[in-house]
Structure 1
């Protein structure tokens, strides 16, 4: 009988929905909850943007490689994309072709041309990969920090529960439950922000790594191609 009375009293103390827990929380716990929700929303925005970007880059890379290896002169491909290369592989190709063309005098390659082409493509590649890595630091930070932020809200909520017990001199569920529920809700929000951030950070970095390897392989093939072309020219 006493247990049912306690449960009924707890129910009358207010709902335990997420919104009710947020409204009952003090300013510190509310700030923790809001920051974790914002971090979660921003993380998902980054995740969706990066996933869509990588899918688009893979599609463009396939089409570009098909054109490059189609047997047509690479000069024609260069003329098509040199004004607006819209993906990293095309930009690496354009930088290499531009340096290749500049490195000829009277139709003959100048000394060290291959090394300059390789350096130009390498620099462009590094800039493109740096651009792809942008915003991923937030996912890594969110995955590492969000659980501790949630834990801070948990500790603060439990402290509020103990203060309520001390003020009322009552250890019943009615006094303890609201603060404990708020504390656990903060923990849940921390995990809600952290888990997707960690999972998709690992996936996206893996996708970028595989794409980077693909672009590097293309650059190596291009350098080998122009090197053979240069070797065939009469001295």
Structure 2
């Protein structure tokens, strides 16, 4: 008897099972595209954060540091601190009260951090959805295939393992495909979620350090 290959079982399955396989294939393609895009985004975010941190602590004046900053191109800590610096300059012209100025600066930076969080988390819900739904689609296909296999046995006078095995193997294909799609998506989701939280912690620490610098500057001016 000719041995059934994986491709033969896929092509020989019912139209409904083939439809589920197509859905899983599309899910896998979308998942890998999203994984690659997230990898590029986090790589760029880490590089930008490190470069800005080095420039920030190089001793350069804040006015010089942000003189050529484009708010539309700035990202990460640079965008957060730049937002606070703009607010500082605007509020400082209206009042000299350190508490009022710092409250406005910190509120501006919190908003910027929330926007960065949305940017970093963009695409992660899609990976989570693919990772959680794919095994269920595969299991549904397996249950459907087993039902069809047992229905086909009703018209067979003698049911042997050789007769049952091909149908059962075809039924289990969707479960295997579901796991094949889900595992990379779940691993990538957890990895990128962890990277996102780490970067956000760095951003928050940077914002706190910047607030401390402004506070010391305001106290020194008030003392003078």
Q: Using structure 1 for the length normalisation, give the TM-score.
A: 0.88
8 Å contact from structure 2 (residues 81, 109) kept in 1: yes
2:113 maps to 1:113: no
The question of 1:211 aligning with 2:206 is answered: no
Distance 2:175 2:48 in 1: 42
Q: Which runs of 5+ in 1 are unaligned?
A: 1-7
Contact 2:48 2:76 in 1 (8 A): no
After TM superposition, give the deviation of residue 85 of structure 1 in Å: 3.3
| Partner in structure 1 of residue 148 of structure 2 | 160
- Structure 1 SS opposite 2:111: helix
Q: How far, CA to CA, are the matches of 1:120 and 1:83 in structure 2?
A: 14
Cα distance in 2 between the residues matched to 1:99 and 1:81 = 15
Q: Shift in Å at residue 29 of structure 1?
A: 0.8
Whether 2:120 is the aligned partner of 1:123: answer no
What does 1:44-193 align with in structure 2 at a 5 Å threshold? 44-105=32-93, 108=96, 112-193=100-181
Distance 1:233 1:146 in 2: 61
Deviations 1:152-197 (A, max 9, x none): 1111111111111112233134532332121111110010011111
Distance in 1, Cα, partners of 2:71 & 2:32: 34
Determine the C-alpha separation between the residues in 2 that align with 1:143 and 1:29.
20
Q: Matched residues in 1 for 2:94 and 2:131: separation?
A: 57
Contact 2:98 2:215 in 1 (8 A): no
**Residues in 2 aligned to 1:31 and 1:170: alpha-carbon distance in whole angstroms:** 31
CA RMSD in angstroms, aligned pairs only: 1.8
- Displacement of 1:120 in angstroms is 0.4
Contact 1:164–1:176 (8 Å) recurs in 2: no
Q: Secondary structure at the match of 1:79?
A: coil
What is the total number of aligned residue pairs between the two structures?
223
The aligned residue for residue 21 of structure 2 is 33
Alignment partners' CA distance in 1, 2:7 and 2:146: 19
**8 Å contact 1:16–1:181 — kept in the other structure?**
no
Comparing 148-157 and 19-28, the one that deviates more: 19-28
